[in-house]
Structure 1
Amino acid sequence: MGKIIKVVVCGMKGVGKTTILEQAVYGNITNKTEFYPTIEDIYVANIESDKGTREKLRFYDTAGIEPSQIATANGTTNQQLPRHYLVLADGYILVYDTGKCNSLDAIISIKK
């Protein structure tokens, strides 16, 4: 077994972070699932790389950012991920909803 790759998934509340992970890891494609806000969850997927080695991906599904925590035009609020995510992550997946303009603002705020 190769290295465990840790990926943090973040974005505004309700943009579909958990749904994307459920579909990618378990193949669950459901349109009528009731929405429960995530506090924090971990999904694990075992994949085979191009070189034929097995890799383990650990996805950290984070709590969504509240719309009130998004940076304003003058940058007075800067939403940050909890520090433990910054230390452990090998990569990030930033999720936003194309129907919610402020969800992209949340991603820009996190990225800073």
Structure 2
Amino acid sequence: MGRAMRVVVVGGKKVGKTAILRQVACVEDVTNKPYEPTIEDTYQVLLEEPDKAREILILHDTAGVSNYGPIELKKAYVQAADAFVLVYSSADYESFNRVDLLKKWIDRQFGKDKKEVPIVVLANMRDRPATVDSAFAHSWAAREKVKLFEVTAKDRQSLVDFIHYVGHRHFHPTKESKFSLSKKLKSEKSSNPAILMDF
């Protein structure tokens, strides 16, 4: 059957969450259709590579968070999430502010359990005039330790990288080495000094 991961996709209203997911999962461009608010929906994306088990991303599309008031997600989303994708429109600065608040809210929820849940941020609508400066957004992402992708729901190819990143991060995590090159190794006496290395 394969392995599965649950990805919760959140962001403000009208930032293109559903358009992104429909483009990724269904290869359907809905950006020119009239806006319809999403209540909840689920999409699946299959990642297949030769000689590897099938990997399935279950993407949970959520209703847009309000532009005002406190940020809070349903408890079921928080409990089920293996990763979060936060979406804002690069043409709407307030949607970026909501993503910042969402990121901080998620950190508080998982900080209690010391559980690390990957967070990816999508700057959607890169094809429109931007009100959120790209350099500013990347600086924020580096400070918050999240991966930022600049995408447009109109172009499926711009969305492929974030899907692969999320899947790879979950299914094929890289473990950090406990070996530090900054420490100087003590060399042992050897009869062959040519193979000794000093870091």
TM-score, normalised by the number of residues in structure 2: 0.49
Question: Which structure is larger by alpha-carbon Rg, 1 or 2?
Answer: 2
Alignment deviations for residues 61-96 of structure 1 (CA, whole Å, 9 cap, x no partner): 010011123xxxxxxxx3021111110000011100
1:63 is aligned with what amino acid?
A
Higher helix content, 1 or 2:
2
Paired position in structure 1 for 2:47: 47
Tell me which of the two structures has the higher relative contact order, counting C-alpha pairs closer than 8 angstroms and 6 or more residues apart: 1
Identity %: 37
Q: Unpaired segments of 5 or more residues in structure 1?
A: 70-77
Is the 1:13–1:64 Cα contact (8 Å) retained in structure 2? yes
State the superposition RMSD in angstroms.
Answer: 1.5
1:8-47 aligned within 5 A = 8-47=8-47
Aligned residues: 104
SS in 1 for 2:33: coil
Paired position in structure 2 for 1:73: none
Q: State the alpha-carbon separation in 2 of the partners of residues 86 and 66 from structure 1.
A: 18
Q: Unpaired segments of 5 or more residues in structure 2?
A: 105-199
Among candidates 59, 75, 80, match of residue 83 of structure 1: 75
Task: Mark the CA change 1:12 to 1:50 in structure 2 (over 3 Å): closer, same or farther.
Answer: farther
Q: State the alpha-carbon separation in 2 of the partners of residues 18 and 35 from structure 1.
A: 10
Structure 1 residue ranges, 4+ long, deviating more than 4 angstroms after superposition: none
Higher strand content, 1 or 2:
1
Question: What is the CA distance between 1:57 and its match in structure 2?
Answer: 1.2
